[in-house]
Structure 1
Amino acid sequence: MSKQNIPPYARGYEGFKGTVGRTVEQSDPWWPEEKRAPGNSPNIVLVLLDDMGYSDIGPFGSEIATPTLDRLAQRGVRLTNYHTTPVCSPARAAVLTGLNPHRAGYASVANSDPGYPGFRLELGEDVATLPEVLRGHGYATYAVGKWHLTRDALLNAAADKSSWPIQRGFDQYYGALEAFNSFFHPNQIVQDNTIVQRESTPEGYYLTDDYTGHALEFIKGLRASDSRKPFFLYFAHTAMHGPLGAKESDIDKYRGTYDVGWDAIRQQRYHRQVQAGIIPAGTPLPEAVGKLGREIPSWESLDEDTRFIYAKYMEVYAAMVDNVDQSLGRIVDLLEELGELDNTIIVFTSDNGGTAEGGPEGTRSYFSRFANLPGIPGDFERDTPLNPELIGGPRAMSHYPEGWGNVSNTPFRFYKGQTYAGGIRVPLIISWPRGLPTDGSIRRQYQYVTDLTPTLLELAGLKHPGTRHNLPAKSIDGASFATVLHNPEAPSTHTEQYSEWGGNRGFYRDGWKVVANHEPGTPYDDGEWELYHVEQDPNEINNLACRYPEKLRELADAWERAAWENTVFPLDDRSNPHSYRRRAAEAEFDKPVTILPGTPKLERYRSSKLTKLRAFRVYIDVEYDDGNEGILLSHGDQGGGYALYIKEGKLWFAFNEYGRLHDVDCGSIPIGHHDIVLNTIPLPNFRATHKVYLDGRQAGALDEVWALIGFAPFSGIDVGVNRGGPVHWGLYEQHGSYRYTGKLHSVRYVPGPRTDYDPELIAELERDVEAAGD
C-alpha cells in the first residue's frame, strides 16, 4: 500500500515501530500461535482508581493505612512525575489504547454527544485496545469495575454493544458501565453483555468487595483450567468517585483522625512527602485555594458542628481508600498462593486528581451538585441537611468539601477538571519483582498516561500489531518508559504533551508548562495563559508569563499545533447550546412506552428521556383486592426519585427531593380495577408540581418541589417493585423491594412538552435556526 493510499485515520501507521523496536509489516496476520506469549510471560494487573488525589496513599504521604500499597512500593518503583487527563473517560481511553484522548474520541466524559470529531465517546473501529492486543498474544483478559467508555445513550439493553467491554477485548467483565454508582445499592451491574437483575442487594453488600470477589473468581477459574496462560486484569474501581460510601467497620478505624482539620493533615502529608523524597526538600506548600479561586477557610475558623460534619466526610473517604487497599491485598494474597506474585506486573494509579465536586461545604445530596444547567436559581439547595450520622452510609449521597480535596492533592493546587498539577498529576506504583528493581526507588521523570500501554507491552516482550481486525489501526501516541523503570538516570521518554478539558488547556515541554484556566462563556484568548518552570516549581506557584513572554508564546503555539493534530477543536466549555445536542436517533427515547410487570429495570438514561425537564404522565392499570400492598411504580433511589405504592388500603405518592422525602396520602383505594395517573407539570425556575388521579379524580398533589435533574433520578424505572436503591427508605426497611402482591397490568409513560429552559431543546432550536439560514 502506498503512503498516499493510507486512509487519513491510519496515517502514521506505515513503518510503525513496535514497542520492542520491531517493525510491524502491513501483511502481518493477527498473531498466530507461534507468535503468542510464552508460558512464562508476566501476568498484568492494572488497578485504576477514580478521583483519587496525589497524597491519598501511604507511599505518597498519606496517614491512611495502605499496607498492601506500602509493600508494593517497597519492592517496586514509584513514579512521582506521572500525569493523566483532567477527567475520567479520557484517562481510561488513553490508558487502554495509548492514544491521546481526543484522537481516541474522548474529549470528555461519556455523558454528552455534541457531534464533534473528538467527542465520539466511543472507541473507533480503527482503535486497538490493550486487552485486544494482549488477547491476540494469547493472554486471558478480564475487567472488573467502572467502564465509562460507552456513551450514555448506549447503556440500555437494546443498544448496540460494540463499545461494551466484551467487544473491546475482554474475555469476561463484571462491573458498572456508568461514571459512578452507589456502593450499597448499585443502580446497574453488567456481567459480560448482560444487565444483572437483582430483586435486592444482599445484606452487608459493598460494591468494592463485589468487584474484588469477581476478580478473584476470574483468576481462580483460569488457573483451574490452564496453569500457564498469562492474564491481564483491569480493575477499574468506582472508588473514590462520589457519592462516597464506606463500611462501618472501615469508618470506625478513622474515628477522630480528622478532628485536627485539613490544615494540619495537609501539613503532615507535605512533611512526609519531603521526608520520603516524593517532592524535593525546599518545595513550598501553596496557599489553600478552592476550585473557583475561593479561599478555603482555616479549620479553626469553623464552628464545632461544622468541624464535626467535615471531619466525618473525611473519615468516610479514608475508609474507602483503606478498603481499596484491602481489595488489592486479597488479589496479592491469591497471586502469592498461586506462586505467581513475582511474575505479575502490578500497576496502581488514578484516572485524575482529587475532586472539588462536593463544593465548599460538602454535600449529603450528591446529585444536587450536578444540577449545573444554565439558569439554575441561586437558592437551589446543594446540601440536603440529613442527620450527619448518615454520612457515608446508604441513606446519604455524600461527598467531602473541597478543603479535603485540596488535602488529597497535596502538595499541588486545584482539582479534577483543571490542567494544573492538582487535576492531572497522580501517583503511580509499578511492581514486578522478576523484571524490575525491587529497591523501592523513585523515578522523577515526566511521563504521561498514554505511556502505560507501550510500557506494559515492552515489559512483557510483546509488540503492538498496528492493526485491528486485520485493518490498519491508529498509531499510538505514548512512549514506553521501560528504560526509566530500569534506570533512574534514564531520560524521560515523553518530553512534551498537551492537555485539554472543558476549555481548560495546558502544554508541557522539557520542564516548562503553560496553563489556561478557562471561565466558561468567556473568550479563549492569550490572556488566559500562565507559565511555570515546573522543573523548579512543581506545584506551579510562580507565574513567569510576564518574565518570559517568548517562552509562553512558544508553548502556547505548541499547544495549538498539538490541538489541531489531535482533533481537540472545537473547544467546548458547555456554555454554547450546541454542547447539549444529541443524535437524531435518540428521538426514539421520547416516544410513549408501555412497561409490563416483569420487565427489567429500565436503565437510567433511557428513563430520564421520558421525564427530565418536561411534562409527563404515567398511566397505571391495576387491580386491588383486600390486603394487596406494594410498589406500583418506582423511579430513582435514595438520592432522588418518586414512587407510587399501596399500603394498608391506601394509595401513596412518595417524592424523594434529593434526599428529603415527601410522602403524600392519596386516600383509600376501593377493591376493584383502577386507573391511576401521575401527572407531572414543570414550572419555571426548575420546579415541578405532581398530581395523582384515581379513576379520574384528583387524589393527591405535591406542589412546587425542585425538579429532578442532572443525574437524578439515578436508578431507572421499575414496575411493580423497587429493586436496588430505594426511593422510600422507610418502606425498604420494612418490606425490602416491596413487590406488589395484586394484579398489575401495565404502566405507560407518555412524555409531554419539554420546558423552555431545557438545554437540549434550546440546542435543537438553535440548529433549526441555523438550518433555516443556510
Structure 2
Amino acid sequence: MKRLPFLTALLLLACPLLLHAAAEPGKPNIVFIMADDLGWADVAFHGGNAPTPTLDKLAAEGLELTHHYSAPVCSPTRTGLMTGRCWSRFGVTTPQNERALPWDTVTLPRALKSLGYETCLTGKWHLGSKPEWGPNHFGFDHSYGSLAGGVGPWDHHYKKGGFMVTWHRDEKLLTESGHVTDLIIKEACEWLAGRKKETPFFLYVPLTAVHLPVKEPEEWLKKVPAGITGAVPRQYAACIMHLDAAVGQIVAALEKNGQRGSTLVVFTSDNGGSTAENNGQAYPPDGYDSGPLTGNNKPLRNEKGSVYEGGTRVPCLLNWPGIVTPGKHDAPVQIIDWMPTFCALAGYKPAKDLKWDGVNLWPQLVEGAPPQPRTLYTVAPGFKSRALRFDPWKLVEHGSGEKAKYELYDIVADPNETKDVAAQQPDVLASMKERMHVKARADRDAVAKD
C-alpha cells in the first residue's frame, strides 16, 4: 500500500477536530427588541387590525412564547431583564427616573461584556434618567435615545419637569430632528454595520412605540387600513405598522452584514397595551390628537398597570434560523428568564451567586427538556397588588396585611380570569397565600439588604 501524501494524511487526522469545532458553536450574537406598551392583540398574528408582516413572518418562522410575562409597567420590566431578578427585589415597582440599580449590580450587558461581547442600547433606558445614571455606567459600550421614559415622537421630550430633556448619545444630551422610531432604528443599524465583525455582540433595542403620545409620519398614516377610523386609532395603527417595519430593518441589516445565521433575535413588549389619553397634560404640547389609545389586550383581562393577564402577558417571539425550531411554547416564562438564558448561551459563569429569580430557558425552548413546575411572581406599582402563578392556579392579592383581598383563578382552564374560585377552593387558596407571603418576605429582605 502506497503511503498517503503527507498533506492528505494531515487533513485526515485533522477532520475529527474540525468536525468537533463545527459542532461547538461560538458565542451567539443577541438582539433583544422590546416594544413599549404593545398589547397582546395589537399584533396581526393575534388578530390585531393593523398589519404586522415582519412580526408575522418572525412568528411563523420562529418560536412563539404564548405565556410570556412582563411586569405591569416599564421600569420594573427593564429591571428584570437587566438583572434576572424580580424587580421588586430592588424596590422598583413604578416607572421611575431615579437610579434603579445599585452601582455594583452585575447586569446582563456587564456579564456579556466580560466574555468579550460588544454591547449597545438604542432606545429607552428608564432606569435612571440623569446622564450620570445612564446605560454606559451599567455595561453598555454605546447608548443612544431616551434616558427617561417614552418621549414625544418629534420633539423627543419626556414629561414636563426636571427630566424633560432626555435625548442623548453616550449620555451627552443632544438635539436631533426626525421621528423617534426612525432615529432609534437608524442608530441600531449603523452600529451593526460599523462594529468589529469578529466579536460577538448584544444589541438591545427598547423602542418607544407604541407609548403615548403617538404622532406618526404622513407616509404611515396613508397606509392605515380604511376600516380603522378616528384620529387616535389611526395614529395608533400607524405606530404599530411603523414599529413592525423598524423590526424588519434590523433583520435586513443582520442579513446584509452576514450576521443573521449567528444571531438570536427576541421580540417582546414591556407590558400590556394602554387606553390612556393620548393628549395628556404631562407632555409638552406638540399637536397630539385627543382621545384614548386603542391598546388591545383581548381576550385577556385588563391592561397596562394591572397584575391581571392583560397587564403582563405579552407577545414574545424567538427567532434563530437553523437553531430554533418553529412552533409555539406554551409553558409560562417571564422577563427575568432572559439574563440566565443569554448568559448560559454565552458561557458566562458568575463569580458569585447573583440570586437570579429567572431560569435558563434554553433547555425547554430548544433542546426538548420538559418545563419544570415553577412559581411566577408579579408586583404592581406601589406594591398595591401582587399576583402569583403556580399552575394550574393564579392568586391575585389586592392590598396587604389583614385588609388584603384575594382572588383565585384556574389560569389554565380560565386564562381570561372570568371566574374567581377562592370560595370553592379554600385549601388551594391557603397554599397559594403562603407561597405569596414567602415571595413578599423575600422582597422585604432584599430591599432592606440592598
Q: Report the alpha carbon displacement of residue 398 of structure 1 after superposing the two structures with TM.
A: 4.9
Q: Following the alignment from structure 1 to structure 2, what is the Cα–Cα distance between the partners of residues 99 and 399?
A: 37
Q: 1:435 aligns with which of 296, 303, 323?
A: 323
**Contact residue 335 and residue 341 of structure 1 kept, 8 A:** yes
Q: Match for residue 462 of structure 1? A: 347
Q: Which residue of 2 aligns with 1:422?
A: 310
* Cross-structure match for 2:54: 68
1:568 Cα deviation after fit: 8.1
Superposition deviation, residue 416 in structure 1: 1.1
2:120 matches 1:145: no
Which one-letter code corresponds to 1:414 in the other structure? N
For 1:135 and 1:427, locate their aligned partners in 2 and report how far apart those are by CA, in whole Å: 28
State the partner residue of 2:431: 554
Instruction: Confirm or deny that 1:49 pairs with 2:35.
Output: yes
* CA-CA distance at 1:110 after TM superposition: 1.2
Q: Which protein is bigger by CA-based radius of gyration?
A: 1
Please state how far the C-alpha of 1:524 moved relative to its aligned partner.
5.2
| Partners of 1:81 and 1:445 within 8 A in 2 | yes
Asked whether the 8 Å contact 1:445–1:492 carries over to 2, the reply is no
CA offset at residue 69 of structure 1? 1.1
Equivalent position to 1:128, from 106, 112, 115 = 106
**Cα deviation, residue 177, structure 1:** 0.8
Q: 1:568 to 1:428 in 2, by over 3 A?
A: farther
Q: How does 1:761-772 map to 2 (within 5 A)?
A: none
State the AA in 2 paired with 1:556: K
Q: Which residue of 2 aligns with 1:481?
A: 361
The equivalent of 2:422 in structure 1 is 545
**Separation of aligned partners in 1, 2:82 and 2:154:** 28
* Larger RCO of the pair (alpha carbons < 8 Å, separation 6+): 2
Q: Aligned partner of 1:220: which letter?
A: A
Aligned with residue 365 of structure 1, among 280, 302, 316 = 280
Q: Aligned in 2, Cα 1:312/1:213: closer, same or farther, shift over 3 Å?
A: same
Q: 1:179 aligns with which of 137, 142, 149?
A: 149
Q: CA deviation at 1:356?
A: 3.2
Contact map agreement 1:365 1:397 (CA 8 A) in 2: no
Alpha-carbon RMSD across the aligned residues, in angstroms, is: 2.4
For the Cα contact (< 8 Å) 1:39–1:228, is it kept in 2? no
Of 211, 218, 225 in structure 2, the residue corresponding to residue 241 of structure 1 is: 211
Match of 1:344 among 263, 271, 280: 263
Q: Any residues of structure 2 matched to 1:71-220 within 5 Å, and which?
A: 71-111=57-97, 121-150=99-128, 152=129, 155=130, 161=132, 163-187=133-157, 188-196=166-174, 198=175, 201-202=176-177, 205-220=178-193
> Structure 1 counterpart of 2:309, which letter?
A
Whether contact under 8 Å (1:479, 1:493) holds in the other structure is: no
- 1:571-618 CA-to-partner distances (Å, cap 9, x unmatched) read xxxxxxxxxxxxxxxxxxxxxxxxxxxxxxxxxxxxxxxxxxxxxxxx
Give, in angstroms, the shift of residue 533 of structure 1.
Answer: 0.5
Distance (whole Å) between structure 2 residues aligned to residue 447 and residue 492 of structure 1: 11
Given residue 465 of structure 1, which amino acid in structure 2 is its aligned partner? P
Output one character per residue of 1:638-676: Cα deviation in whole Å (capped at 9) or x when no partner.
Answer: xxxxxxxxxxxxxxxxxxxxxxxxxxxxxxxxxxxxxxx
CA distance in 2, matches of 1:342, 1:176: 30
Matches within 5 A, 1:215-234: 215-222=188-195, 226-234=196-204
Looking at structure 2, the residues matched to 567 and 218 of structure 1 have their Cα atoms a distance apart, in angstroms, of 41
The alignment partner of 1:531 has SS state of strand
**2:28 touches 2:346 (CA, 8 Å); kept in 1?**
no
Cα gap change, 1:547 to 1:481, in 2 (>3 Å): same
Q: State the AA in 2 paired with 1:322.
A: M
**1:400 counterpart (268, 273, 292):** 292
Contact in 1 for aligned 2:81/2:336 (Cα 8 Å): yes
Q: How far does residue 190 in structure 1 lie from its aligned partner after superposition?
A: 0.9
**Hey, what's the Cα distance between the residues in 2 that align with 1:464 and 1:105?**
26
Change beyond 3 A, Cα 1:569–1:431: closer
Native 8 Å contact 2:125 2:135 kept in 1: yes
Aligned to 2:440: 563
The alpha-carbon distance between structure 1 residues 525 and 243, as it changes in their structure 2 partners (threshold 3 A), is farther
Tell whether the 8 Å contact from 1:127 to 1:473 is kept in structure 2 after alignment: no
**What displacement does 1:213 show?**
0.8
CA contact (8 A) 1:83 1:424 kept: yes
* 1:491-518 CA-partner distances (Å, limit 9, x unpaired): 2464443433330111111220111345
Separation (CA, whole Å) in 1 of partners of 2:184 and 2:438? 42
Q: Secondary structure at the match of 1:227?
A: coil
1:256 to 219, 223, 226: 226
- Partner amino acid, structure 1, of 2:204: Y
Task: Give the AA of the match of 1:339.
Answer: G
Deviation per CA, 1:243-265, whole angstroms, max 9, x where unpaired?
Answer: 11211111122253224xxxxxx
Q: In structure 1, what is the Cα distance between the partners aligned to 2:422 and 2:138?
A: 44
Q: Does 1:447 align with 2:295?
A: no
Distance in 2, Cα, partners of 1:41 & 1:190: 30
Relative to structure 1, the CA distance from residue 245 to residue 136 in structure 2 (aligned partners, 3 Å threshold; closer, same or farther) is: same
| Cα distance, 1:552–1:356 mapped onto 2, change above 3 Å | farther
Matches of 2:404 and 2:441 in 1, distance apart?
20
- Counterparts of 2:212 and 2:57, CA distance in 1: 28
Task: Flag the structure with higher helix content.
Answer: 2
More strand by share: 1
Q: 1:573 aligns to what?
A: none
8 Å CA contact retained: 2:67, 2:330: yes
CA drift of 1:232 comes to 0.7
Please tell me the residue identity of whatever aligns with 1:396: Y
Task: Please tell me whether residue 324 in structure 1 is matched to residue 243 in structure 2.
Answer: yes
Give the drift of 1:537: 0.6
Q: Secondary structure at the match of 1:166?
A: helix
Q: Counterpart of 1:242 in structure 2: which amino acid?
A: L
Aligned to 1:499: 379
Q: Deviations over 1:430-468 (max 9, x none)?
A: 00113211x3x011101111101111222x2412424xx
Q: Which residue of 2 aligns with 1:657?
A: none
Kept in 2: contact 1:128–1:473 (CA 8 A): no
Structure 2 residue matching 1:106: 3-state secondary structure: coil
> What's the TM-score once normalised by structure 2's chain length?
0.86
Matched with 1:582 is none
Q: What is the CA–CA distance in structure 1 between the aligned matches of 2:219 and 2:257, rounded to whole Å?
A: 29
Q: Confirm or deny: 8 A CA contact 2:112 2:346 kept in the other structure.
A: no
Mapped partners of 1:236, 1:88: distance in 2: 10
Which string of whole-angstrom CA distances, capped at 9 and with x for unpartnered residues, describes residues 31-79 of structure 1? xxxxxxx994221100011111111112332232212112211221001
Give the Cα–Cα distance (whole angstroms) in 2 for the partners of residues 399 and 443 of structure 1: 37
**Aligned-pair CA distance for 1:185:** 0.8
Which amino acid counterpart does residue 320 of structure 1 have in structure 2?
C
Cα distance in 1 for residues equivalent to 2:235 and 2:93? 31
How far 1:348 moved relative to its partner? Answer: 0.3
Give distance in 2, aligned partners of 1:482 and 1:124: 28
Aligned length, in residue pairs: 415
C-alpha distance in 2 between matches for 1:99 and 1:451: 8
Aligned-pair CA distance for 1:394: 4.1
Q: Pick closer, same or farther for the CA change 1:490–1:366 going to 2, 3 Å.
A: farther
Question: What SS is found at the alignment partner of 2:33?
Answer: strand
Shift in Å at residue 397 of structure 1? 6.2
Separation in 2, partners of 1:251, 1:212 = 19
| Structure 2 counterpart of 1:665 | none
Aligned residue identity for 2:253 = L
CA contact (8 A) 1:442 1:488 kept: no
Q: Report the AA paired with residue 532 of structure 1.
A: Y
Unaligned runs of 5+ in 2: 1-23, 158-165
Q: Is 1:146–1:180's contact at 8 Å kept on the other side of the alignment?
A: yes
Identity, % of aligned pairs?
A: 31
TM-score by length of 1: 0.51
Q: Given that residues 39 and 271 in structure 2 are in contact (C-alpha distance below 8 angstroms), is that contact kept between their aligned partners in structure 1?
A: yes
